[in-house]
Structure 1
Amino acid sequence: MSIKQYFFKTDYRFVFLIPVYFLTVAVFAAIAFFNQEWPLFSVLSAFALTIFLFGIYIIKRGLTLLSKVIMLLVNTIFVIFLVVHGGHEHTGYFWVFPILLATIQILGAASGILFACLLVLMIWLLEKWGMTDLALPSRFYFASLALVFISGVHEMALENNRKKLKKQVDDKDNENRLDPLTKVGNRRLVDYELDRMNTQIMDGVAVGALIVDLDNFKKVNDSLGHSAGDEVLKTIADHLTSCIRPSDKVARWGGDEFMVLLYGISLADMERVARRIQESIINDERLESLDVSVSMGGAITSSDYSDLFKAADKNLLSIKNHTKNSFKITML
């Protein structure tokens, strides 16, 4: 695992915003101790606050737990620093408000509200324990809690909208990747899985591709009609689905061919899956009466996923040219 992966889940494009975040916190600390009549005070404050909150909004969904813990630790130290030392003319505590907003942005609605309330409680305890010369008015605490509540409710609404939108997109994507006849995946699903293999970090996970081709399927269509052929395809799809794990994928590759994708599997285990598929189909009396069997070509790799399907197809052709109801699987 690279250093970036400790701090970001997938998207590294905004990793520069992490040091910007800490730099902005330092700017806040400096501003809190400057004379507020300084001509550039308002401009610098607005710019720092914009970068601060906008940066968090962009990166928050890509942060790892470690990044969140570090940022919250910095927030807590900064709040203590502002409250204990007071800032210029005891106005430092005003900068607590953007920290509360940032906390909710980093953690999300529920956890953010809880942690922000704990920060407000910590400020109250620091005052009660005499660790600050500030005499914070009660309206500061009311304003802080009101800000936390309003921001938390807003963030909760945004999270719900994001979940609904994501579900709609996922449902539409799943529908587009589904074969309407057999109710397994279609070629789009295979393309999606291949793209995922090539773009995501698979950490050397072995992936197996098994192309399943129906023997004597044309005879069924010619003698009994396409409706009977459709029933055969649906039956084969059911057998394939029942022979694999929930994490594996089955898709109709085209015509009378299916693609089975197996993740985190060894060559020996993949051969066992192929035998299980064979036995399941052979023991189906209806398929046996129609003289339908399957030939399979497969390949397995943990590195070069782009050649996986070509190798599986090559092995299938090798089987079809010599025999039927058999399989050949090789390791790349």
Structure 2
Amino acid sequence: MKTFAYFRAETADQAPHLLASHASPDYLDGQQANASQGGKYIAGGTNLLDLMKLQIETPIALVDISRLPLTDVEETAEGGLKIGAMVTNSDLAAHPLVRERYAVLSRALLAGASGQLRNKASTGGNLLQRTRCYYFYSPTSPCNKRIPGSGCPAREGRNRMHAILGISEHCIAQHPSDMAVAMQALDASVETRRIDGSSRRITLADFYLLPEDHPERENVLEVGELITHVILPPVPAGQHAYRKVRDRASYAFALVSVAAVIDATAGQINSARLAFGGIGVMPWRNREVEQLLCSQPASPQLFNQAAELLLKDARGSGDNNFKIALTRRVLLSVLTDACKGELQ
């Protein structure tokens, strides 16, 4: 691990200023993507410390935000939730309002990582965790996400865990988060604080970026922009479920996962929210699929049409070809159980 400076932020306003004061001008102007020219925020550190040990991330300064007063889960005036970015994954999964109203979120959190990691991982950091692509984690391998323009060996190499939707010729890395998949299904948004002191709210639907020609750019955050809260709108009606297919029963990333909130009566789906993990370069949601499912009486034919629409642009890269068929089966299972009132 390379040497770095360490600073502790006391307020959300102070944190961006601390980071800005220890970065090169090119980095702050957005002209330098290499983290070695700037700073990084650290909260739980469950992902960042691993990356620093491998010298994949080499920031010259760390700004510790773990003690910021952003650890509350509050009801909003609209009937939703305002979640502080420093709320740990364990505390969020166990919170009474989350368990009662947003069961899909609690289940997704409990499906991710180990208890020890959930005790440290923060809500804001979970949204920003990096891919676990083998080549991204190998400092001796080319990787467009790590070194822009160096190539993507995963396209022709080991790619069993990789994405089948949203990929480009420059990157096929999958997004690793379980929590973000549930947040996507719940129409979450994030509140942030910029270096200039201004704030903004970004819907999660607009937060992540497709790799296209610049896989090193994973989200729309500006340099030094700090996530302070995650906002959930009022809970949608329906059954909640998080299905995760993985190689082993615990502490494994998803091959295919789906966060589902489905309101179904006999023979009809009234509303559906479906977000997928393991198959996309970001938490994947297709609203056309949801609209189709509510357009006519439920039937196996309708469910197959929905699967075809979801997967019409899916592309396997060899070892991960099986994900196309697996995604179809998981989706059909979720929809069938929802119409029977057995979704869980």
**TM-score, structure 1 normalization:** 0.21
Higher normalized helix content (fraction of residues): 1
The higher radius of gyration belongs to: 1
**TM-score, structure 2 normalization:** 0.21
Q: Which has the higher contact order (CA 8 A, sep 6+)?
A: 2
